[in-house]
A and B are shown apart, each in its own frame.
Chain A
Amino acid sequence: MLFPTVTFALFFFVVLPTSWLLMPTRRWWKIFMLAASYFFYGYWDWHFVFLLALSTVVNQAFARWIHRTDVDQRRRAILFGAVAFNIAILGYFKYADFFIQSSRDVLGAVGVSSGSTLVNVALPVGISFFTFQALSYVIDVYRRDFEPGPLINFATYLSFFPHVVAGPIVRGSEFMPQIDEPKDPRRIDASRAFFLIFIGLFKKVVIANFLATHIVDQVFASPGRHSSLELLVGVYGYAVQIYADFSGYTDMAIGIALLLGFRFPLNFDSPYTATSLQDFWRRWHMTLSRWLRDYLYIPLGGNRGGNKTTYRNLMLTFVIGGLWHGAAWTFVVWGAIHGTVLSIEHWRRSVRTARGLPDPPDTTGRRWRSRIVTFNVVCLAWIFFRAESLTRAIDYLLRMINPANWLDASPLVTFGVLLAIVIGIGGQFVPKGFTARLMSSFSRLSPVAMGVVLGVALMVINTLGPRGVAPFIYFRF
């Protein structure tokens, strides 16, 4: 079930009032929300509901086992078992075919024919998201940061429908206490919720889909048939498309959760305004970057073991982060580019510190230069992220920078495409105070006026968007 569909609207019209009606009897609320979330998840393929349930039961068992155990060595062994279980699930459903294909390629290159066939199992929607959430829960219990709750609380947290398929990656320690805390049905932050839902809809349905169908899909499918300008605008278009698509989804998820009385952490904070790659990762898919920081980078040693260890840890974290997105070498290269540039930024800072040099002055010109450089580095990595193979990505890059192709005709670079890119990037520079005022003004309207405003917004989004709803990019991850 996709958010921007009539099916979801009908589902939510039932779930929202029922959820608030049952809220006083928390036990019934949990049962109802669990059932609704499983229905939502099973709407794609009901078989995978069993996988979600299995992940819930096994991770809860590991968490409780760790919690009951006092001996550190044994706790570590149980944690190892939990991590192995989750990686095995991810490995089977997400990476098995990648390894089979890669080994076939390697064996084929040395003249050995392999008879192995692909597993060909369908990828369960949201597997990467709920597996990472389950891992964070077990690890937090292991670290004694958090005590395991009842099974039904954990099951509700893991399957909660606003975040189950594409995040944000909410931690148990953030969500589970909210299940039992009292909520006032007379004080819903509806203006913020509606604002997020409709901005998310606009980003996804209008901006992301327009750019995908008017330039991005074409240039990435046949880079050799397009001019350098089209390829350059195509990669900028993809940068906006993936931002609008993914942040649009999480905006909707956060807004829907808010209407149900739950707060989710922010997942995007104007990422293309970042002045360094480090800054970018504080703003892009923030819940994944903090997950990687807390459960991978820091356990690996973080920046505590000198420069070389830091570079190694950065590279490992981002290559694994790349693989989290998908089983392909293109994602590995994407992660390696980010890891390398982050290492360079770290090296430059350490050199400055070692020489006792002060930080450069924070001028407007310097900030904009840094933004432009950072954005283009991110776009360079997006080429690998989007391309269907490494060869195709390199072809794309080489053709884009070849001066001979700059004078070719560029029919795909239209006013509409440029406008969508400008809106997608420019929207990130809108002052936060402006949107806060807008939400505040909206909240003061009468319910009827609010409904009319939202109805007109629905018409604009529906009319400007394409027929049908394209799946969200991050559903694949």
Chain B
Amino acid sequence: MSTATRPPGSTHPSNRVPRRRPLPAGHVIVVMLIAALVGGLLNAAGIRKTANGQAVGFKRDVARFFAEPLYDVSHALRIDELRKGLQAISGRSGDDDINASLPDPTTGDVDTTVTTLPPKKQAFSPTDRLDVWVGGDSLSIVPGQSFVNLAPSAEVIDVVDNDVDGHVATGLARPEVFNWPDHMQEVIAQDNPDAVVITMGSNDDQTLTGEGGGEQFGSPEWITEYRRRVGGMMDVVTGSGGRVLFWMGAPMMRNEERSETRYRIINDIYSEEAAKRPGRVFYIDIYDRFRDENGSYADFLNGVQVRTPDGIHFSRAGGDQIAQVVLDTMNQAYDLTSWRSKLPATTAPGPATTAGATTSPTTAAKKKTTATTTRPATVLP
């Protein structure tokens, strides 16, 4: 009845939206300050982690100056529990933990007076496949994706999750930003890959932080400490010797001076540390691969664009080239092809036994266990 008296086009009273109450500018600023304070206290653990992850210098010092007491207050009043609870619900417990400790190497210096024979190659086949984990800093992402796409061509390789575990702006210089040895221990516990392909170094030409840190880049102390970190990382990944690590350093970048004076030093450490772990760590040198005939940085190689416009990262074609290099190196480290000769004669005629086949574990055997027992490093006096 009452609707009949409403003018046409008018809204039913229950549908009318009350007008928004405007705020004076001063109140707006008060709201923002309270939101920042409440949000800051609730997020204090995350803010502390972000502050620690800043580039070493004044900005980081200031950020930590404010973040640490904020965290102390939040933690003391247990305000940070709300964030922890939400992290637990979303499966991200431990996101705010800061672990700056790094493992020591367990491998000593190599005795150059002894003759080292290459270990026997472990064989893989379509029924006993090679599980590969791929990851590293931002330079690992495009080549890693290329490797994911290339792996099926070998018919015996599976890439963990068909994905690259890339973490932008990380390395071994700043464990409080991202602790790679810690992360790799989790990866190994969860996925137990047979092989690991890691790319690192392009973010490490800086002052070291974390346990044993504090040294300026390039100093003898820096080199000693960085060598310790690299060795520790290599030993964490290879463990007792069953897992092989393929380590790629930084390529030459458009900033040639920086490349020559910084990435050369870092790559040399990788190369030397890999040499101490024969058969366990393969250093893949890509530094010289992306230079032109004059030895300078090249965007194009053979008419193909291999680098992105930033002069640092790889284009898809560049990534494809690196993926092929990794696969070639894996073929040196493993026997990935002899299974072909053991196929029924109708599909693959040829000798039933090859040199590689003699070392192949039985397909019935559990790969994860054979991986750690069939490849002892052979060192003879």
Interface residues of chain A, those whose CB is within 8 Å of chain B, are: 6, 9, 13, 16-17, 20, 97, 101, 104, 108, 113-114, 117-118, 120-123, 185-192, 194, 218, 221-222, 224-226, 259, 388-389, 411, 433, 436-437, 439-440, 443-444, 447-448, 450-452, 454-460, 462-464, 467-468
The digit string for B103-126, where 1 denotes a CB below 8 A from any CB of A, is: 000000000000000000000000
Check: B183 CB closer than 8 A to any chain A CB.
no
Interface residues of chain B, those whose CB is within 8 Å of chain A, are: 15, 17-25, 27-43, 46-47, 49-50, 63, 82-83, 86-87, 90, 92, 95, 145, 148-149, 152, 159, 161-164, 168-169, 254, 299-300, 303, 305, 309-311, 316
Q: Which residues of A contact B95 (CB under 8 A)?
A: 467
Q: Provided the pairs A463-B87, A467-B50 are in contact, do residues A224 and B149 lie with their beta carbons within 8 angstroms?
A: yes
Contact of B148 (CB < 8 Å), options: A118, A188, A221:
A221
Structural contact, B90 and A192, CB atoms closer than 8 A: no
Report the bound CA distance from A120 to B159 in whole Å.
34
Q: Provided the pairs A117-B300, A225-B162, A467-B49 are in contact, do residues A259 and B20 lie with their beta carbons within 8 angstroms?
A: no
Structural contact, B43 and A462, CB atoms closer than 8 A: yes
Structural contact, B42 and A455, CB atoms closer than 8 A: yes
Structural contact, A447 and B299, CB atoms closer than 8 A: no
Chain B minimum-CB-distance residue to A230: B162
Structural contact, A118 and B38, CB atoms closer than 8 A: no
Report the bound CA distance from A9 to B40 in whole Å.
12
Structural contact, A459 and B82, CB atoms closer than 8 A: yes
Q: Which residues of A contact B28 (CB under 8 A)?
A: 16, 188, 190, 259
Report the bound CA distance from A443 to B30 in whole Å.
14
Report the bound CA distance from A218 to B22 in whole Å.
45
Q: Which residues of B contact A191 (CB under 8 A)?
A: 20-21, 23
Structural contact, B30 and A447, CB atoms closer than 8 A: yes
Q: Which residues of B contact A114 (CB under 8 A)?
A: 303
Structural contact, A20 and B20, CB atoms closer than 8 A: no
Chain A minimum-CB-distance residue to B145: A221
Structural contact, B309 and A459, CB atoms closer than 8 A: no
Structural contact, A226 and B32, CB atoms closer than 8 A: no
Q: Provided the pairs A190-B23, A463-B83 are in contact, do residues A218 and B162 lie with their beta carbons within 8 angstroms?
A: yes
Jot down 17 A-B pairs with beta carbons below 8 A, ordered by A: A13-B36, A117-B299, A118-B305, A122-B309, A185-B24, A186-B22, A188-B22, A188-B24, A224-B149, A225-B159, A411-B161, A437-B18, A440-B17, A451-B38, A458-B39, A462-B46, A463-B83
Report the bound CA distance from A457 to B31 in whole Å.
13
Nearest Cβ distance between residue A12 and chain B, in whole angstroms? 8
Contact of B38 (CB < 8 Å), options: A436, A437, A456:
A456
Q: Which residues of A contact B148 (CB under 8 A)?
A: 221-222, 225
Report the bound CA distance from A133 to B27 in whole Å.
33
Report the bound CA distance from A104 to B300 in whole Å.
11
Nearest Cβ distance between residue B33 and chain A, in whole angstroms? 7
Contact of A185 (CB < 8 Å), options: B25, B161, B311:
B25
| Nearest 7 CB-CB pairings of A with B | A451-B34, A455-B38, A458-B39, A454-B35, A459-B42, A187-B22, A221-B145
Q: Provided the pairs A20-B25, A185-B24, A188-B22 are in contact, do residues A456 and B31 lie with their beta carbons within 8 angstroms?
A: no
Structural contact, B49 and A439, CB atoms closer than 8 A: no
Chain A minimum-CB-distance residue to B166: A217
Q: Provided the pairs A108-B303, A186-B22, A186-B25 are in contact, do residues A463 and B43 lie with their beta carbons within 8 angstroms?
A: yes
Structural contact, B46 and A463, CB atoms closer than 8 A: yes
Structural contact, A447 and B31, CB atoms closer than 8 A: yes
Report the bound CA distance from A463 to B87 in whole Å.
7
Contact of A222 (CB < 8 Å), options: B18, B32, B162:
B162
Chain B minimum-CB-distance residue to A118: B299
Chain B minimum-CB-distance residue to A222: B148
Report the bound CA distance from A451 to B39 in whole Å.
9
Structural contact, B35 and A455, CB atoms closer than 8 A: yes
Chain B minimum-CB-distance residue to A432: B17
Chain B minimum-CB-distance residue to A392: B316
Majority SS of interface residues in chain A?
A: helix
Contact of A433 (CB < 8 Å), options: B15, B50, B152:
B15
Structural contact, A451 and B30, CB atoms closer than 8 A: yes
Nearest Cβ distance between residue A170 and chain B, in whole angstroms? 22
Q: Which residues of A contact B87 (CB under 8 A)?
A: 463
Structural contact, A218 and B163, CB atoms closer than 8 A: yes
Nearest Cβ distance between residue B278 and chain A, in whole angstroms? 33
Contact of A455 (CB < 8 Å), options: B18, B37, B63:
B37
Report the bound CA distance from A291 to B9 in whole Å.
33
Report the bound CA distance from A13 to B29 in whole Å.
8
Q: Provided the pairs A221-B145, A433-B17, A443-B20 are in contact, do residues A452 and B163 lie with their beta carbons within 8 angstroms?
A: no
Structural contact, B32 and A436, CB atoms closer than 8 A: no
Q: Which residues of A contact B29 (CB under 8 A)?
A: 13, 16-17
Nearest Cβ distance between residue A330 and chain B, in whole angstroms? 13
Structural contact, A447 and B27, CB atoms closer than 8 A: yes
Structural contact, A190 and B90, CB atoms closer than 8 A: no
Q: Provided the pairs A104-B303, A459-B42, A467-B50 are in contact, do residues A190 and B36 lie with their beta carbons within 8 angstroms?
A: no
Structural contact, A462 and B39, CB atoms closer than 8 A: yes
Chain A minimum-CB-distance residue to B41: A455
Question: Which of A118, A188, A190, A191 has most B Cβ within 10 Å?
Answer: A190
Structural contact, A190 and B311, CB atoms closer than 8 A: no
Known: A16-B28, A440-B17, A455-B42. 17 other contacts (CB 8 A): A118-B299, A120-B311, A187-B22, A188-B25, A191-B20, A194-B31, A218-B163, A224-B152, A225-B152, A388-B316, A440-B19, A451-B37, A455-B38, A458-B38, A458-B39, A464-B90, A467-B50
Q: Which residues of A contact B40 (CB under 8 A)?
A: 455
Structural contact, B162 and A458, CB atoms closer than 8 A: no
Q: Which residues of A contact B47 (CB under 8 A)?
A: 6
Q: Which residues of A contact B82 (CB under 8 A)?
A: 459
Structural contact, A389 and B22, CB atoms closer than 8 A: no
Nearest Cβ distance between residue B371 and chain A, in whole angstroms? 23
Q: Which residues of B contact A108 (CB under 8 A)?
A: 303
Q: Which residues of B contact A117 (CB under 8 A)?
A: 299-300
Q: Which residues of B contact A226 (CB under 8 A)?
A: 162
Chain A minimum-CB-distance residue to B141: A221
Q: Provided the pairs A225-B152, A225-B162, A389-B316 are in contact, do residues A13 and B32 lie with their beta carbons within 8 angstroms?
A: yes
Structural contact, A458 and B17, CB atoms closer than 8 A: no
Report the bound CA distance from A459 to B90 in whole Å.
14
Nearest Cβ distance between residue B219 and chain A, in whole angstroms? 29
Question: Which of B15, B35, B82 has most A Cβ within 10 Å?
Answer: B35
Structural contact, A460 and B86, CB atoms closer than 8 A: yes
Nearest Cβ distance between residue A205 and chain B, in whole angstroms? 12
Structural contact, A454 and B31, CB atoms closer than 8 A: yes
Report the bound CA distance from A9 to B38 in whole Å.
14
Nearest Cβ distance between residue B342 and chain A, in whole angstroms? 27
Structural contact, A225 and B149, CB atoms closer than 8 A: yes
Q: Which residues of B contact A190 (CB under 8 A)?
A: 22-23, 27-28, 31
Q: Which residues of A contact B310 (CB under 8 A)?
A: 122
Contact of A452 (CB < 8 Å), options: B27, B34, B309:
B34
Structural contact, B22 and A189, CB atoms closer than 8 A: yes
Structural contact, A448 and B34, CB atoms closer than 8 A: yes
Nearest Cβ distance between residue A437 and chain B, in whole angstroms? 5
Report the bound CA distance from A452 to B47 in whole Å.
18
Report the bound CA distance from A121 to B164 in whole Å.
29
Q: Which residues of A contact B22 (CB under 8 A)?
A: 186-190, 443
Report the bound CA distance from A246 to B90 in whole Å.
25
Report the bound CA distance from A412 to B268 in whole Å.
39
Structural contact, B17 and A436, CB atoms closer than 8 A: yes
Structural contact, A222 and B145, CB atoms closer than 8 A: yes
Structural contact, A459 and B303, CB atoms closer than 8 A: no
Structural contact, B309 and A97, CB atoms closer than 8 A: yes
Report the bound CA distance from A187 to B37 in whole Å.
24
Q: Provided the pairs A222-B162, A462-B39 are in contact, do residues A451 and B20 lie with their beta carbons within 8 angstroms?
A: no
Structural contact, A452 and B21, CB atoms closer than 8 A: no
Contact of B39 (CB < 8 Å), options: A189, A411, A454:
A454
